[in-house]
Amino acid sequence: DAKTTQPTSMDCAEGRAANLPCNHSTISGNEYVYWYRQIHSQGPQYIIHGLKNNETNEMASLIITEDRKSSTLILPHATLRDTAVYYCIVNFGNEKLTFGTGTRLTIIP
Amino acid sequence: DVKVTQSSRYLVKRTGEKVFLECVQDMDHENMFWYRQDPGLGLRLIYFSYDVKMKEKGDIPEGYSVSREKKERFSLILESASTNQTSMYLCASSELPLAGGRSNEQFFGPGTRLTVL
C-alpha cells in the first residue's frame, strides 16, 4: 500500500470550510484514497473514499488531483463536533487498512 | 446500523495473566480485525480474519493470538500479558469487497483500554 503524508495538526474556525491535505505520491493506478476520522475516546469512523473522480457525500467532499498524487478532504461547514484526528489511507480496496498518525483537526469557536 | 461491540471499555490485568478481549458484530460481516492504538504510532493491525476459523497475521502479531469460532465473534488473546501490551485495543468489521473495488468500509467498536500492571 502507498504511503501517505499528512500535516500533524490544523485549526479551523467554526462555520468555515476545513481543508485537510494528503500527499500520496507513490499511489498506483488501482489504489483508492480513503478517509476516516477518530473523535476522542471513540473508534475510527469512515468518511469517504475515491479512486479518480471527486466524491461528495453527506459528511464531506474528496478532491483528488488529476495525477492522483495528492488529495484534499473538505468539511464544508465545520462544527465543534468535527474536532478529531483525520486519517488519509491509500489502499487497493482489499481488507487491510494501514492507519498512520493522521491530522489532528481542532475547530475553534 | 452496524454495531460492533467490545466486551469491556476498561480492563486492568497483572503481568503474566491470560487476557481475553471479545468483539461481536451484528451485520454478518465476513472480515474482522484487531488493532492496537498507541500515542504517536497510530493504529497498528494485530490480526484479521476473513472467515470463520481463518486468521491472518497483521503487522504486530507477536504476543497475541486470535479465535474466530463464529462469524459474529472475534476474540483477541494475550497468553501472558506484559506491561508493553498496555494499550487501546480496537476491533473492526467489514464486508468482503466486491469485484471492482467497492468500498471496504470498516466499522469500529468503541475500544478497550487495557492496562497491564
Cα–Cα distances (Å) from B62 to B40, B51, B69, B84, in that order, read 20, 21, 21, 12
- Distance CA(B110)–CA(B89), nearest Å, equals 9
The reported pLDDT for the residue numbered B100 is: 52
**A23, A24, A25, A30 alpha-carbon torsion, rounded to 10°:** -150
Confidence band, pLDDT 50/70/90 cuts, at residue A96: confident
**B102 three-class SS:** coil
Cβ A26 vs Cβ A2: under 8 Å: yes
**B2, B5, B9, B11 alpha-carbon torsion, rounded to 10°:** -150
The reported pLDDT for the residue numbered A45 is: 94
Percent of chain A with pLDDT over 90: 76
What does the pLDDT average to over A52-60?
A: 93
For residue B106, the distance in angstroms to the closest alpha carbon of chain A comes to 7
Chain B residue with minimum CA distance to A33: B103
Chain A residue with minimum CA distance to B91: A43
* Option in A32, A46, A101 nearest B40 (CB): A101
